[in-house]
Amino acid sequence: MAEAERELEEVARELEADELATLVAKIAPVVSEERAAHWVRQTIEAGGRQFTHGDSQHVLERIAPYLSLEQAQTYLVQQIVPAVRRDFLELHRAKDRELPLLYVGHKALTAGALARRMATLGKAEDAFELLRLARTDEITSLALVEVAPYLRSDQVRFVDECIGSASLSSLTIASGIGWTGLGDSTKRYLQARLAPSLTRIGEVGRALEYTRAVDSEWRASSYLGIAEASRGQARSDALLEALSTVLE
């Protein structure tokens, strides 16, 4: 692995930031935390240098699982828009102003990855409180869905209410054929993604309602999430529904 790092050091400055991020995401899990942090900083700096070239569209999305808390929080705040003007300063205070600005191609996917990173670092509550200050759009909604598995029951219900009442633009997500725009299926997709968290807090009926309503492409994974959060007959039923969906 030391040899691989040396080779990466030699070519890092010649790579586009997105290319470097892809390589760093592969090397970070198998090097020390110190070395992983070093490569994350190198990638962020590369993205900052290439900001105006548009060659750093997916940097944050790809290295999100290896960011520090300060990095994840700063870049999450940069993706969201405050619901009211007076909350701008509070969101601004949550940022590390020494970190460079990075170009983001898909804000919703990036915000979701950053919120999830904060949650895995034990700061789901902090991510939730920041997102509560944001305008409820497809960016905030996806980030809330990503952090929902780590939230309390009342917070999950808040997420459900936010998505249900929001006016959402089309969400673009990664799929087996590249990038897919969900169009008017965006809200149903987000609700189905939330279904496992709703199951966890006892809202099984609502979870099943959302799952049945979503397009078949996403239905099986939602049923599997419900099964993982269930026990006994409810778990068996969800697994059978997932299998039936796949076989359709």
What tens digit of pLDDT does each residue of 12-58 get? 778 888 999 999 999 999 899 999 999 999 999 988 887 766 667 88
What is the per-residue pLDDT across 142-201, written as a single tens digit (0 to 9) for each? 999 999 999 999 999 999 999 999 889 888 887 766 778 889 999 999 999 999 999 999
Domain C-terminal end among 9, 39, 66 = 66
Domain annotation covers residue 91: yes
Q: What is the pLDDT of residue 6?
A: 74
Asked whether the predicted pLDDT for residue 10 surpasses 80, the reply is no
Q: What is the pLDDT of residue 1?
A: 60
Asked whether the predicted pLDDT for residue 108 surpasses 80, the reply is yes
Average pLDDT of the chain to the nearest whole number:
90
CB 130 within 8 A of CB 77: yes
Residue 34 sits in the same domain as residue 102: no
* Both tokens assigned to 63: 């290295």
Asked whether the predicted pLDDT for residue 81 surpasses 70, the reply is yes
Domain C-terminal end among 169, 204, 225 = 169
CB 45 within 8 A of CB 21: no
Helix or strand run (H / E) with residue 174: strand 172-175
Domain C-terminal end among 38, 66, 94 = 66
Helix or strand run (H / E) with residue 27: helix 17-27
Residue 82 sits in the same domain as residue 161: yes
- Structural domain boundaries, residue 40: 1-66
Domain annotation covers residue 175: no
Q: What is the pLDDT of residue 2?
A: 66
Residue 239 sits in the same domain as residue 185: yes
CB 141 within 8 A of CB 168: yes
Q: Determine what percent of the chain is predicted with pLDDT higher than 70.
A: 95
CA distances from 171 to 37, 147, 150, 190, 191 (A): 31, 17, 23, 9, 13
Residue 59 sits in the same domain as residue 74: no
- Identify which of 143, 118, 241 has the alpha carbon closest to the alpha carbon of residue 225: 241
pTM more than 0.95: no
Q: What is the pLDDT of residue 177?
A: 64
